[in-house]
Structure 1
Amino acid sequence: MSILDSVSVVDSGERAKGYDPVRVRRKKLGAALQEQINLIESEGGGYRRIRVQRKRDLETDQVFDVEQQRRVNPWWWVDDDGLVRFSMRYGSMKLIIKDGKDTLVLPSLDELQRLLPMLRAEVLAGGLDDVLAKAADALEARFKSRRKPAKG
């Protein structure tokens, strides 16, 4: 029996080329939601994002990798009524999810833990592309307003 008999083989189709801002936004929010999933699944909030940074030793001129642990801030909180509130973020902005509202209200953390993978799958499938585009435009406008006009 050949190894090729145990896998499916299809036509490759077209490969996405170049920079596609929609795809980049999906991947960025999907990665952030995956961090939230990892954080809620860790016991006691012990999850830390690991960032690898390259450094050069000035004496020996050798390059080596240094792992840095970064804290991940939860996007949820429990209010006074015991309800879990969750708001998604894109960069420094809260995403306006539906009807001008930005916070999901859930009865418990277990419900949030069940919701997050489905929400991530919807983001990667393109279900929140309009919301992400509005947030990206608002962020871009905020940065453009900070730039000083050129003198001349």
Structure 2
Amino acid sequence: MATNTLASLKFTTAKKPTQLSPVHIRRNKLAERIDEQIALATALAEGRIYAPSKTKVVTDADSGEKSSVQTAKRVKTWFWNTADGKVSLTIKYGSKILDLSGGKNRPTIEVASASELVKTLELVKAAAGAGELDDVITAASDKLRKAFGK
């Protein structure tokens, strides 16, 4: 009976990669930051406070013992309300603003209202996951690296 069940499966010799390529690491990093912005925009629309936490290792000055402590994580918003009632949005990789306009030097996305903000962020996340932003992310990553002297 067990062999009939296993016979319906397709077996291959594929191996799990030991590490991700730098391009995939950058995509995942951007996707995580966009997820934070989506959570922040959703919380603001619902009137809640978005307060993620992170674990930090702290060393006691007297005894030298290390302990883990939950602290608030600082999340900077990528969006703001404009004077005409619309919402402006910039996508960032690290501290660099990504120019998603295709070299037209217009890095700010204009959104009609706050309700459209989450949809726009999800659209940008989908584009990043599909690899459409790889060149822009790589350029921003190179600029950040040069700023650190690497």
Is TM more than 0.5 here? yes
Residue of structure 2 in register with 1:27 after alignment: 28
- TM-score normalised by the chain length of structure 1: 0.78
Could you say if the C-alpha distance between residues 45 and 74 of structure 1 is closer, same or farther in structure 2, counting changes exceeding 3 Å? farther
Superposed, 1:60-139 pairs within 5 Å as 61=65, 63-98=66-101, 99-139=104-144
Partner AA of 1:44 in structure 2: G
Structure 2 residue runs of 5 or longer lacking an equivalent are: none
* Alignment: residue pair count: 141
Residue 140 (structure 1) aligned to one of 127, 142, 145: 145
The superposition leaves residues 19-41 of structure 1 with CA deviations (integer Å, 9 ceiling, x where unpaired) of 52111111111110000011011
For 1:71, what is the secondary structure of its paired residue?
coil
Tell me how far apart the structure 2 counterparts of residues 80 and 121 of structure 1 sit (CA, whole Å): 29
Tell me how far apart the structure 2 counterparts of residues 78 and 51 of structure 1 sit (CA, whole Å): 28
2:37 aligned with 1:36: yes
Could you say if the C-alpha distance between residues 129 and 78 of structure 1 is closer, same or farther in structure 2, counting changes exceeding 3 Å? same
Is contact 1:33–1:116 with CA below 8 Å preserved after alignment?
yes
- TM-score normalised by the chain length of structure 2: 0.79
Deviation at 1:125, TM superposition (A): 2.3
Is contact 1:47–1:71 with CA below 8 Å preserved after alignment?
no
Is contact 1:76–1:86 with CA below 8 Å preserved after alignment?
yes
Q: What percentage of aligned pairs have identical amino acids? A: 30
Tell me how far apart the structure 1 counterparts of residues 141 and 113 of structure 2 sit (CA, whole Å): 30
Tell me how far apart the structure 1 counterparts of residues 148 and 53 of structure 2 sit (CA, whole Å): 28
The superposition leaves residues 116-139 of structure 1 with CA deviations (integer Å, 9 ceiling, x where unpaired) of 122212212212001101111122
Tell me how far apart the structure 1 counterparts of residues 54 and 110 of structure 2 sit (CA, whole Å): 32
For 1:48, what is the secondary structure of its paired residue?
coil
